[in-house]
Structure 1
Amino acid sequence: MEKRLAVKCESAKDLFNNKSENLNDILRQKTKLETELSSCVSRINSYMNELIENVKKVFEKEMQRLQTDLEQLRMQSKGLYKQQDNLENIVQFCSDDVTFLYINEIEHVFLKEEKIPNSVPTRTDLAINGIEEIKTLLRNVEKVKIEPVMQQIPVNTITLSPAQQTVPYETKKSMTSGILTLNKHIDIAKNGVKEPVIIDCCIFKNGQVIAIEQKHTCLLEFTSSGILRRNVKILSQALGIAAIDESLFAITESERDTVQIYDKQRMSSIREVSIREHCSGITKYSDSNFVVGCNAGGLVLIGKNGEKEKVFHTKELMHLNQNICLTSNERGNIFCSFSKNNTILSIDSRGILRFTFQCEKLKSPRGLTCDGNSNIYVSGYETNNIIWISNDGKKSKEVLNSKNGIQCPTGIDYDTNLAILTVCNHNGSKMSIYSMK
């Protein structure tokens, strides 16, 4: 009976966890839907504003043309009336020969200058080609509804005998479920970069790594085997980098207060987003947007097309006047590190503060990244270590330190599929790659 009660309790716990996860999921879905709809609204507004501007341009052009035609007609009419008056005076007071000569002169003028107005009147009207399609689209949009979709989750009937045991839920490998071992140290100087200082990096699914090199203002692209493939000069100092998908990544240019969206294959910027404020950290938030940290204005959510979708007005993130490093997890939670006050802060998808984290083993925190279970780990620059922190901020563990080759780490990134952790190490002179076993 004790074992059966234990099974029942475990089942109730699973149901509770399921509902809790469902609540977190719909909060994330709400944010995603709001973001998608806001993006649609922005695109529609931009399109309609462009149409309005085009109406103004076409109107101005046609108005100028019609005014020019009117002025020409006034001059023609004035000339015709003058010739008419002259002809009447000549007929009245001059001989027939003079009258004949004047009539010939008028005919020559008509033939030469073609001043007689067209007898067929024309008019110009303004119309929008495709307005009916727009009206049809609006009628279809009115039919769109947001509704909850109920999904039945199969649940096995509990008929366990006292000898049966429950099977624990298998999760993705994270920092607490495996051991990280050093795979390789990449000495940047030996790859041809003199006195390098790499400050942040991102991993792609094929194992490719792109890092920001601060001293020479460039991007370094490494193959999965750690070979430097390209060294690309950028316009100004960058502080953060994040992969958007397998073909795009974004960097923050703090000196120019902009975000540059790069094509990975060409290693060139395809879009510039003006933040108008000193920006530092950046992280992918969903498949359609990313978050940028601003030193005084908090966090800004930006779409892949460059539109600003949302600002997280969290008082703890405002007017910090320091660089912010960022990461986010699949639940829509955002984590920020502040090196000046040795603090990790987390907010949810609504911008509400979840927790703040501090501990003696973490000094001058820099880069953050997520594991496969919504938890994070962060690099300690002064403490020469990597700290794992649970999603709720209540648990923490030192997983790498100087004994594992960690020295003055800055940017870090973890790939759950490859199970590798990349660290900008040794004060930016090396990039260390750890694999999980």
Structure 2
Amino acid sequence: MLKVRWWDAAAFVAVAVTVLFGLVGPSVTRNDVGVWGVDAAFLVLYFAYARRYATGAPMRHHLAISIGFAVIIAVGTAFEPSFAIMQAFVYPFVWSTAPDLRSALAANLFIAVAIVIGYVARLGVAGILTGVGVAVLSVGFSIALGLWITRIAEYGEERGRLLDELRAAQGQLAVMHRDSGVLEERGRLAREIHDTIAQSLTGLVMVAQRAGNRLEPVEGEAAASARGDVELIEQMAREALTEARGLVASLTPVESEAGLADALRRLATSFERETGVRVSVAADADALDRELEVVLLRCAQEGLANVRKHAHAEHATIEIAAGPAEVVLVVRDDGVGPAGAVPGERGFGLSGMRDRVALVGGEFAFGPGETGGTVLRVVVPRTDAAAPIVTSPTPPLPAPAPSPTPTPASEENPA
């Protein structure tokens, strides 16, 4: 808007100068009246049509504006040669409305020809040399100035583009630094939990076992009650130790070169060791976005957590199929089935997974399998990772956290 107002001021100044040229004479002539009429036509053309394209016009509008101003220049110069001063406004204006450099040069040459025509119409054949001289000087200066301004504008646009890229790179770098800091802090917390809480709980379990062994030969109601309390203490300590180890595993990142398939195999191995349920993994998950890998890993982890808590299964499978547009994760088991459980009805596991999948535009289904058991199916759209502007190691994929200690069989709904 500010640029258009400057053009408005320049148009009024150009008209005022041509009007003053007629007023400074000894008397007002017919040619002066003709110049004022052309001034009025110029203002009408500018404010009614050309002004809206002051910052750039399509080719057809640029051509119409150039022709209109050329006619006004030719007619005004035919009335009074001093009207050619209007070119001080017309040349830069048609240059600013031009869609490209070639059309700007053509419009300038067209205005120069109009000036020559105006001089010839006013002075006859004698006006050819004068008109050509004025046109050559003016159009030469206009082209030189226009090219210089165009080069400055292109330089400014290039600087703006580079500045945007720099800001984007700084944003990516800040995100990577933040992620790196988060991973370092998670690793530190994992070490602290392992070296303090987990070790203390391990010692508590051993003390409870030793106390139970010492109370074993003791008879009496008080000894039996004490043995029950010691067993309860040992059970609670073991459960707390399992939770602590789960936190350590979830907070500790795996090596940066490890991918989703490797993380799933580690999850399956840990699950088999802790529960005795055989888990097979079939993962076609190459070249996936890291955020997508994290979502799929957490979904697989939650699927196995439900197998551990509720399925009473002997075998489970994790399958990942990566297509060109989407990635499908399927976790199935041969257990007792979901028994009509609804995600989020009593627990937060499946409800949280539903929200996590929705954040990446995916969907999931949870229900009984065709041949029994339970099937968890997650479908997420595939996104190709953009090439990073700043080279830096890829943030590591979070390690799968082991599921909590098995809960009593009376629990029917997934966590």
Shorter chain as denominator, the TM-score bin is under 0.3
| TM-score scaled by length of structure 1 | 0.24
Higher helix fraction (1 or 2): 2
Q: Say which structure is richer in strand.
A: 1
What is the TM-score with the length of structure 2 in the denominator? 0.25
Q: Which has the larger radius of gyration?
A: 2
